[in-house]
Structure 1
Amino acid sequence: MNSTRTLRRTALAASLALALGLGMTATASAGGPRTVSGKPSDAVTRIADFYGAYIDAQSGPANGGKLAEELRKYYLTADLRKQLKAWEAKNNADGVLRAQNVPLSWKVTDNGTANHTEAGITFTWGSGKKTRLVVDMNRDYKIFHIGTKGATGS
């Protein structure tokens, strides 16, 4: 009788230790540190950096007007900035985001073009709706096109 009770206690203790151990491992891995990496020589990283900074500026105090303009000057070609001003006047929306508000999140995906970098930008909005833009960057790391379809040239 004593040995059966000892065996049950040992089995129960082992099961409890295993369950707690698995629970701790799952919690630690689920809440572990996140990392984001990139490099300035990578065009997709630069596109992601632009959209991250631009969305931060637009969602900040006073909609980050001056900072957003400086980001446009740094990352966008002069031609594209002119095109965006015309688009914005016609559509009463932000041409970089193609919207009147700021998304909750965004994802940048390399579309794999040969002569320049083309990336898909997926925005997630407060309603859960997703929209997609295509952004093209030249070899000088300047965005020269933002639209619903990719550019035809570099």
Structure 2
Amino acid sequence: MPIHHRKTLLTAVALTAGLSLAAVTPALAGASASHTTRAAAVSSAQGDPRNATQHVADFYGAYIDAVWATDDKSAGAALKALRGFYLSAAAQKKVAAFEKKEHADGILFAQNVPVKWRVAYTGSGTGHATSRVTLTWGDGPHAEVSRIDVQSDLKTLKITALKPVR
């Protein structure tokens, strides 16, 4: 078979497979209405790697994903790598000290995992930006909410301090 015909055949097979996958995936993912709702809740996302608040949001999103993935053997290494990349050395030491003393996660200030998170810019000054992280610990109208103020260095974007809001 000439190369041109093979390329055409492979392209047709790949296109058919892609379209089949696109048609089947929603049906498989939507085994229950709640899965479909969760998938549809975030239909697009964007970011800016130069923005300190976005950097905090990226960190918390990836961190919570890794903590949530209890059956994934690579999650522990991912958590360590995320802390190393996003937190300053001093912040890493403070988090470790908190965890040793409180026997709780020093990023979430808890022993369990939130189901939702939100990050908002709250101000800046003296070379730092502050973001407020809101963690939601369940679904429904009576879900518990906690807040953490996160300070970031505007030059490096590293998280330099985390403080639970009481």
The match for 1:143 is: 159
Paired with 1:125 and 1:32, the residues of 2 have a C-alpha distance of 18
Residues 133 and 148, structure 2, Cα contact 8 Å, conserved in 1: yes
| Structure 2 Cα separation of the partners of residues 133 and 55 of structure 1 | 14
Counterpart amino acid of residue 56 in structure 2: I
Please tell me whether Structure 1 or Structure 2 has the larger radius of gyration of its CA atoms. Answer: 1
Distance 1:113 1:56 in 2: 28
Give ranges in structure 2 of 5+ residues lacking alignment.
Answer: 1-39
How much does 1:35 deviate?
2.2
Query: 2:98 matched to 1:83?
Result: no
Find the counterpart in structure 2 of residue 64 from structure 1.
Answer: 75
Q: 2:131 — aligned with what?
A: 119
Identity among equivalent pairs (%):
37
Distance 2:52 2:82 in 1: 16
Query: Under a length normalisation based on structure 1, what TM-score does the superposition of the two structures give?
Result: 0.72
Over the aligned positions, Cα root-mean-square deviation in angstroms equals 1.8
Alignment length (residue pairs)? 119
- C-alpha distance in structure 1 between counterparts of 2:75 and 2:158, whole Å: 21
Which aligned segments of 4 or more residues in structure 1 are displaced greater than 2 angstroms? Answer: 31-35
Question: Compared with structure 1, are the counterparts of its residues 63 and 100 closer, same or farther at alpha carbon in structure 2 (3 Å cutoff)?
Answer: farther
Which has the larger displacement, 103-112 or 31-40?
Answer: 31-40
Residue in 2 aligned with 1:25? none
- Which sections of structure 1, spanning at least 5 residues, go unmatched? 1-30, 150-154
